[in-house]
Structure 1
Amino acid sequence: MKNGFPAIAILGPRQCGKTTLAKYLADQIPSSIYLDLETDIDRLKLSEPELFFEANKNSIFFIDEIQMLPDLFRYLRSVIDKNAVNGQFFLLGSASRDLVVKSSESLAGRVAFIEMNAFTMKEVQSVSNDVIKYWYRGGFPRSYLADNDFLSLEWRINFIKTFLERDIPQLGFQIPSTLALRLWKMSAHYHGQVVNFSSIANSLGISHNTVRKYLEILSETFMLRLLPPFVANVSKRLVKSPKLYIRDSGILHALVVVDNFNELMGHPLFGSSWEGMVIENILNHSDHWNTGFYRTSNGAEIDLIL
């Protein structure tokens, strides 16, 4: 973990293992307190945050789903400044750094951000070198570790449903779940391609600005990646729109209803699925790099530039 900061924010998608990690770390620290802000009882404990933190001032706090209580950040600043203890607060959230930063400006200089994603190929190699299994199922722990491909696919389908119907509204976004599902599925068919916002908007019967807004929400919640074009003043004819990737290959395959790897081999997204998986694995192990792709109007392309 990063040293020198009173608070450490661990951000990543739902079900990637943040809670498991937090509970494991909490078990190793006798004075720790774990709070899950999705539960009413833990939110009630923080109804008087200054009193709660004062009563437990010598504890290490693990606060899960921090985005559920954005007003908490302003109280954390006073506690952090008063206690002056590094590593006293571990903040876990399912919203991206950009979303959380909007609510945590008062913690500037006091919090370090760590992004935690689903398993990478490098991480699962200690269990198995089965690239095909990892590629088809993706890296979400319950999908990858399922007893068979059917149960893995079932988990991913339920994940998509729950994410759209429960998680997105809980994060404060008002998007009709049926429209969000159509957009997500259409995005899957654009996987590995330069985004045509107008084409998607026309297909869904909404404005291109609304499409941009919704895609940004899916990006901010770690479901897709909008890879920007590499900016260089080489030519005005460079492609300017981002490329779209569904970040987890297993979720991609569930969105396009690919039941097994044999079906994937015959699917039009076979090549771009591999491309996306490779790019996501590279970027998950490439912190602090500016990323992008390069493509000219005549089709010359570099898939990833760091």
Structure 2
Amino acid sequence: MVSIRLVDDPPIYSEDKIQNPNDAVQLLLKEFDSVDRELFFVLNLKTNGQVINVNIASMGTLNSCILSPREIFKASILSNAASVILMHNHPSGDCTPSKQDVLMTKRLVACGELIGITVLDHVILGKETYLSMKEANMMPDGKKIYNEIAAENGVEYGKKPIPTISFYVAECMEFPSLGKVYQCRSLEQAVKRYRNLPEEMACMGNGIGFTIKDDDSIYSGEFDLVSANRLDVDIINSIPYYRDSPLVQKAIEDIKRLMPEVKIIEPVQHGVQNPKERKQAR
């Protein structure tokens, strides 16, 4: 069982604000004084630069640390950190970043960009010296990395994919595999195709459907628009996603305009009788 709760006054590791790499080094210098192996620390920061806490994410060997983004950001997420500073030591005294240091930093910057926790710097401690990857212009560009990943999936950084709608005509709406299905570029084309279906096909329950493509919705896929010459607005709007979708609502209005002959099933308002029901009641 896991419980997460909001604390009114969370503990602060240091009231001093981290304004540059030297501030971070001085804060943790004593922690590295006598160690003979690599230690990897994560400073979790508030938006104003105060250190919420310090997480020892990994304790390694003489020249390496095993790191996992999961362990790096676990405390950051639970601490509501706005940003982090990474710090580790080289017991050899040479603070030159290794190839592994550079690759791991790139990976962590990309992960931070994805979850909204900025990796401000990666500081490497040597013997009586340190190297700030930010000051050395070695910090990867998080947005650029994210853009490269997003480009592979056809998504622009910072923008959600825009939902799209397309239409099709099926000779049998309930079981499309029993007849032909025609993909259409527009609703106008779908209406024309529907009207040109042979009359003997009407008994199969032919109709017009729409397909929503939206990567953020579980309602992506096919749904009936017109079936057996009926437009059931009540059923469509019973699904909140379709009710709130401008694309679907425009399709409904366009069908009413393009096909005035279809029977419209509108939503029933509770407590309001239609004229036929009122006449029967008298």
TM class by smaller structure? under 0.3
Higher Cα Rg: structure 1 or 2? 2
Calculate the TM-score normalised by the size of structure 1: 0.21
Q: Which has the higher helix share?
A: 1
Q: Which has the higher strand share?
A: 2
Q: Which structure ranks higher in relative contact order (CA pairs < 8 Å, sequence separation ≥ 6)?
A: 1
